[in-house]
Structures are given as structure tokens and as C-alpha cells.
Structure 1
Amino acid sequence: MEMIGKSYPYVVVYIRPLFKVKTKVIDNDLNPIWNQTFELIAEDKETQSLILDVFDEDVGQDKRLGIAKLKLIELEAKTPKEEQLAALEAEKMILEERKKLKAAGVIGIG
């Protein structure tokens, strides 16, 4: 929270840093409830974790308020395994296409 007691929090959620999702910003709230759903791909629930990186939106640079790391093995998946595998294959195709576009100079590095 800022010195004047305000906070505009949001959360960056990811399993792998390459594919991050961001919640909406909750205006002026020290006890936010997002109630949002995201679908993320996990390859190995034994070794991977869900990362929740909490920030305060601010003019200039946002401030990190905290971070939580939840082991996937301790969470329950709601998507059937077949759907998870199909999504993983689709993600691999996207990565290959990005790689080709970068090699062709169509998109920048980053």
C-alpha cells in the first residue's frame, strides 16, 4: 500500500515465465477479490509451480507487493488430461511459428 493508504493491486499469474496472464487492476482496495479464471498449461505437476506475483499499479513503475509459489502437485486440475495434451501441442506450434517469424525478421527478439 502507498503512504496515503491506497493500493491498485493486480496479479501476474504463470507456471512458465513465457506465458503469463494478468488480472484486472482493482482500484483503491487493500483487500481485493479478482474472481477471474485463467487456463495455463503445465507439463509436469511433480516439478512445476503456479506463481502469483502481486503488484501495485503505480505511475512510472509498478511496485511488487508480494509473490506466492504453489506446487502444482498440491493443486487439483479441472481440465481432463487429453485437453491438457492438446493445449500443449497447440502451444508448441505457436512457439515454432514465433521462432520462424523471428528468424525471418518479421518480429523482434523478446
Structure 2
Amino acid sequence: MIGKSNPYVVVYIRPLFKVKTKVIDNDLNPIWNQTFELIAEDKETQSLILEVFDEDVGQDKRLGIAKLKLIELEAKTPKEVEEQLAALEAEKMILEERKKLKAAGVIGIG
């Protein structure tokens, strides 16, 4: 189906304690503005993992992943995550190309 992503992010330091953002429907530039508390035992060796998914009927599709070392993060300092942005931008380009092909009659509905 042709449409925009329904993105959400799974956030964790340890895989046993994952948290999930809300899903933002039909948005290629989502802003979650959510806060989570995660336990970190060792900022020297642990990383914050962010996995961006597109919620779909059936199985959700992973759009990108970022691993940020805790030692490199500063409290209350925004950190732009390039991997997610690149994945969302790539999907945006694919969707735009599909729309062009559909409009030209090269591909059908579906």
C-alpha cells in the first residue's frame, strides 16, 4: 500500500527493559515529546538503543536503529539521531517515487 509511515520507537539500555513510544499515524517527521526513565548500571560500557518501526498490519517494519554510548550523552542535551532520520528520509523518497510511477500508470494499485 502507498502511504506514509506510522512510526514508533522502542528505547532501551538493557533488552529486558524496553519502552515504546506512542505511534504517530501517517507522519514522516514525527515528534514524540515523551520522557522515559531507564536504569543504567555503567555509563562507561552501556549504550542507549533506539529502534524506529513502522506499524503495519501483520508485521511491523524496522526503519532504522541507533546505538548511542551513554558516556557520550549529556543530561538534558538534545541528541539528533542520524540513523533514524536517514531511514525515514529514504522511505520518504521511495514513497514519492512510487507515487510518480502510479501517476504515470507504470504500477497499479496495491
Structure 1 residues 59 and 75: alpha-carbon distance in aligned structure 2, compared to 1, 3 A threshold: same
TM-score, normalization by structure 1: 0.67
CA RMSD of superposed structures (Å): 16.4
**Structure 1 residue 77: Cα displacement:** 3.8
Structure 1 residues 5 and 51: alpha-carbon distance in aligned structure 2, compared to 1, 3 A threshold: same
**1:62-91, CA deviations, whole angstroms, 9 ceiling, x for partnerless residues?**
000000000000112469999999999999
**Secondary structure at the counterpart of residue 54 of structure 1:** strand
Contact between 1:41 and 1:87, CA under 8 Å: does it hold in 2?
A: no
Structure 1 residues 8 and 105: alpha-carbon distance in aligned structure 2, compared to 1, 3 A threshold: closer
Structure 2 residues not aligned, in runs of 5+: none
Structure 1 residues 83 and 26: alpha-carbon distance in aligned structure 2, compared to 1, 3 A threshold: closer
Trace 1:83-94 onto structure 2 (pairs within 5 A).
none
TM-score, normalization by structure 2: 0.67
Q: In structure 1, how many angstroms separate the alpha carbons of the residues matched to 2:15 and 2:77?
A: 21
Give the match for residue 42 of structure 1: 40
Structure 1 residues not aligned, in runs of 5+: none
Q: In structure 1, how many angstroms separate the alpha carbons of the residues matched to 2:4 and 2:84?
A: 39
**Structure 1 residue 51: Cα displacement:** 0.2
Q: In structure 2, how many angstroms separate the alpha carbons of the residues matched to 1:80 and 1:74?
A: 12
Aligned sequence identity (%): 98
66-75 or 88-97, which moves further after superposition? 88-97
Aligned residues: 108
**Secondary structure at the counterpart of residue 38 of structure 1:** coil
Given candidates 5, 8, 12, the residue that maps to 1:7 is: 5
